[in-house]
Amino acid sequence: MTGTHLDDGVLRAYAEDRLADVDAWSVETHLDRCPLCRGRLPLDETTGRIVAEVGAALRDRLTVADPLPRPSASKPAGVPTPAPAGWARPGSAGRSRRGRVRPGTRWRRSAVLLGAGPAARAGWLGSVAVTLALVAAVAANIAPVKAWVLLLVAPVLPVLGVASSYGRHTDPLHDLVASTPYAGLRIVLWRTLSVLAVAIPMSLVAGAVSGIGVPGLWLLPSLALTVLTLGLGAVVEPYRAGIGVAVGWAVLVLAPVGGDRLVAPVAVPGWLAVVAVAVLVAGARTARDRMRGEVTG
């Protein structure tokens, strides 16, 4: 017992009938006059299940009785919503509910997690626009834009997207996200997926237009550099990892040995090796540092 209320252990013991009679009586005396503790009394398994079932049945009934307003494209403009007088008004849920309530499905979850590409979204959409402009310029044969510029830009697109998608410097909600079960690698992978969904087609288009190497092989450096950024992102801040990888890529492309070999069949084992190393780096880091649960500190 703590202060004037029963503590959890006592309540649990009482609910499970583990208390001596004398103790149980005094618990009951307290429960009689204390609604707070009554509310905290844990339910036994059967009762809990019944309550849950009744709740589920009622919920379905309520949805039928109170059909949600369909999404309306045109919200009545200029009609100010009256501000609530207080904020926890019981029972106001059904009445003032409006707008779009989406059912909780697996699809909806994916849509939310993918679509919430945070501040990063502006960043990678920008780089997609740049690539498109370059592709157009190369396709139209505008003199100052050479095909190798595409090779320089397209494969690092997802890298920049991934680098700017996680970490306290680029995500305004970083602290909050870091306190959820999705923190760390899981949310990073979701965001990477959303970036790749856009960047991979870009890479293919750029490869086809540029005429350098095999277009399909442009995917390899894109993916390998992304995985490398993820791996390094487990060690340093993701945005630093991204900058490092981008610079490294630029050096390779501009090196005198010929950037076109980077997207030729001869480079395939090299890229696979890069992926393997990146996975090892991330794995070693995770093993050493299991507590952290996030990719950055």
What are the residues binding another protein (CB under 8 A)? 1-3, 6-10, 13, 19, 23, 26-27, 30, 36, 39-40, 59, 75, 81-82, 84, 86-89, 92-93, 96-106, 108-109, 112-113, 116, 118-119, 171-173, 175-183, 187, 290-294, 297
Closest CB to another protein among residues 178, 205: 178
Closest CB to another protein among residues 61, 98: 98
Closest CB to another protein among residues 88, 143: 88
Q: Taking the complex as a whole, how short is the minimal distance between the CB of residue 75 and another protein, in angstroms?
A: 7
Closest CB to another protein among residues 46, 81: 81
Closest CB to another protein among residues 9, 211: 9
131 class by beta-carbon count within 10 Å (0-12 exposed, 13-18 middle, 19+ buried): buried
Residue 143 CA from chain centroid, whole number: 41
Q: Taking the complex as a whole, how short is the minimal distance between the CB of residue 22 and another protein, in angstroms?
A: 9
Q: Taking the complex as a whole, how short is the minimal distance between the CB of residue 38 and another protein, in angstroms?
A: 10
Q: Taking the complex as a whole, how short is the minimal distance between the CB of residue 26 and another protein, in angstroms?
A: 5
Residue 117 CA from chain centroid, whole number: 7
Q: Taking the complex as a whole, how short is the minimal distance between the CB of residue 113 and another protein, in angstroms?
A: 6
Q: Taking the complex as a whole, how short is the minimal distance between the CB of residue 129 and another protein, in angstroms?
A: 18
Closest CB to another protein among residues 124, 271: 124
